[in-house]
Structure 1
């Protein structure tokens, strides 16, 4: 009986040791399918090859050997042999996979992925990689051929002005110069808005009545900050004519301090600043397309010369400081226009 029990124990131990392990673990890629797709997007494709691949669904089948090295064995959706060769070469620079395991032993296996190349329109794909509004390069030639200017999306204007006061302020102030800055853009083809700010410098013909030291003819200066509404009247490929209305808070330094650290001698008028003027931006540079197309639209940068002129009126709470002045100026614009498909 003891011998039988010993035999049974030995037999069970033998079966346990020699039982076959049939567990199978598939190969695993070194990173996500999205990054694998980006690996192939980064190939230096020619314009013709990229055009042939745009919107194309691609399926790749790899042989993963026992050490995890991938070999491209089959493909679907590649347009020609040169593209297939480029895929095969790029596959050689992929990091190794974690190889498949059968019963705890590394074995060869098959692995496949499917993805779509980005295109101008949304790409339908069964894979988890979907591209919506994907950024793609565009040339100046394609911009001119396929797109038409829609509106002035963003502008940054710097203007240097000559100005001359009228009425009561004109009896105290000489002609002067001013510097204006406008940062804004349009929300549709005709209407827009901007942050507006400026500084002005004038000589004096005589001192203001509030000056505690009569006879001083030092320079007078002004500053204002506010906003404007922009309405585009005429837009061509080279020029853009706009009328603008300003509303801002301003201050006029009618007399300077005697001592920079003291208030003594300082006369300043403050109040509401309004204005209306015309601005003509003449584009002198070529459009430089930005690197992207979104919902059938594309934007492009440009440089322009500004020609501006108009009338401003100030309500500064004092009759000597309240009044109008006209100005004419020239400046520089850095702009961005929006284009839509023809």
Structure 2
């Protein structure tokens, strides 16, 4: 009877707390299973990435070995045949290289005294040749000069007005002899619209040679002191300043200068850097802050020119620096 009574009793339901514990255990097992699956997946991905990296390194090593072999044996280099598409693509590139590259650095004021025109660097040489190559202020000619060559400009010191810039020569720098032999396919044009007799100077860099007779006090930074001293200045306190100017900023030129009169034994020499035309050409402004000029004292000029009776001969040689220093 007791056994039959126990079997007839209904089974007891789990409590809320028991269900909560079972659910938490189930969640924990699921999280552990998910973490295990993720770790396995990451391991598989890492193995694939390592395999790909290994293959890339192997290809790189083979390429380096082949390159070393070609460098050690030039005959082993094979010339790849060009496809028709490659030929069609190379033709426009060659045509583009044949076109000249116009190099302009903006405009600046003309360096001739009493000429207030502002001239583009591409037209500077044309302006000087057309408007300033004749008359009392004109220079003799435009001289083409390469690196290693020398050109001589002749002038008279008495023609230099006080505190007035005077152009004594115009040069056209063609580059070094090595650059002339290895001229790039794409020609650089620094001067445009030149007359026919000067058309060969299109790819030359213009360089202007100037001189100014001024007071030695012009180099003082204290302008008030310079003005007071200037009122009592004597001709013996004057100096002759010579410098060179170019509109181009792409290269840095140095000039080796040498000046003498009728007696070649009486000679002075100096080396200066060619200045930029965009900077001030007023000696009172650039002398205190710029060292790229040659200053000759009154006594030196008097001795060289035989008491200002002889013409002076200025010998110039240009050299080009590989890198611009300033």
Richer in helix (by share): 2
The two structures have a TM-score, normalised by structure 2, of: 0.23
Of Structure 1 and Structure 2, which has the larger fraction of its residues in strand? 1
